[in-house]
Amino acid sequence: MRRTSARLADGREIIYFDDTPGAPTRTAVDRRDLPPTENSGQIRRDPLTGEWSAIAAHRQTRTYQPPADLCPLCPSAPDRPTEIPEADYDVVVFENRFPSFAQNAIGVVERGLVERAPGVGRCEVMCFTSDHNSAFGQLSPARVRTVVDAWADRTEALSALPGVEQVFPFENRGDEIGVTLSHPHGQIYGYPFVTPRTEKMLAVARAHGGPVLGEVLAYERSDGSRVVASSEHWTAYVPAAARWPIEVHLVPHRQVPDLPALSPAERDDFADLYLRVLGRLDGLYNRELPYIAAWHQAPVREGREFAWLHLEVFSILRAADKLKYLAGSESGMAVWINDVTPEDMAARLR
């Protein structure tokens, strides 16, 4: 894989990850007339829960579901410049033009009942392919391996930035999820705090005296009723206490804190297994399944010995034509009610 870093017209970084033999050297220049980026995003701490929220009003003007011929994630053409200046690409990552967090976030820290601070961090967009009509599940194993290597590269890079406490690669797919651009892509957030979900999992692991996921993995592999697929280095299963109607966890058999810690063999093995899982998800209702794929990684500076890398893939589709809405119990009290048994869902996916 060849890695090339460049700059867009407004100074944002763009990085090409090329795996195609003979791919051209990336020398295209972004000639768009773009204003300098400025981010007034803020984070505020809820005094009742202690949790941080991001306030990013400038994102209201971001691009929303443009027609395919105006997609900003497709390669550039002579008469249609996009976010990617090149005429083609394999995998590309660039700084989000409408970020929730950014290194140049402006503002001051304010103490008090509702603590405030600039939303310092970083948000990136990752395009998995230049083919607008493709999907992650249609990639080759070699291309998925390139994506994994790019995730690992960006995790290391963002972890080294001032103010970043946790790195979160993820993919949103499908209109029902709320995707604003249909081109196959994901995002990477460098949060200026440890997220509430991660804090809770680390607290449970500390109280337990070690990473609980290792015991969960052994339990699921031994029971087998919720295992969807497995390989030499990974197991995919529906968790026994699944919150979502469709929810699959992909867990490496070895405890590693994050993506950079995966071995070459584990990265190759993940590519094969993940494509199998995505094929089964799309086959469930014989349609492209809307989903969120979320990587759970250790924070940059704390609790790394208690963390166990894993990918959570879930969908809000509870039947072929019905959505799972987060209603009173879920939204108001964070008590989840699942209309599908995990054992039944795993059997159907198998």
**Cα separation, 18 vs 28, whole angstroms:** 15
Alpha carbons 14 and 61: distance in angstroms, whole number: 22
Contacts of 225 (CB under 8 A, 6+ apart): 343, 346, 347
Q: What positions carry a catalytic annotation?
A: 185
| 41 token code pair | 């995003």
Determine the residue type at 173. R
Provide the token pair at 59. 């994102």
**Beta strands across the sheet bearing 227-230:** 2-7, 13-18, 91-95, 122-127, 185-191, 166-173, 291-296, 310-315, 246-252, 234-237, 227-230
Q: What is the DSSP string of 224-292?
A: -TTEEEE-SSEEEE--TT-SSSEEEEEEESS--SSGGG--HHHHHHHHHHHHHHHHHHHHHTTSPPPEE
In contact, 271 and 144? CB cutoff 8 Å: yes
Q: What is the dihedral of CA 119, 310, 127, 89, to 10 degrees?
A: 130
- Helices 196-208, 212-223: axis angle to 10 degrees equals 80
Q: Strands 166-173, 116-118: parallel, antiparallel or unpaired by DSSP?
A: unpaired
Token couple for 46: 């809820």
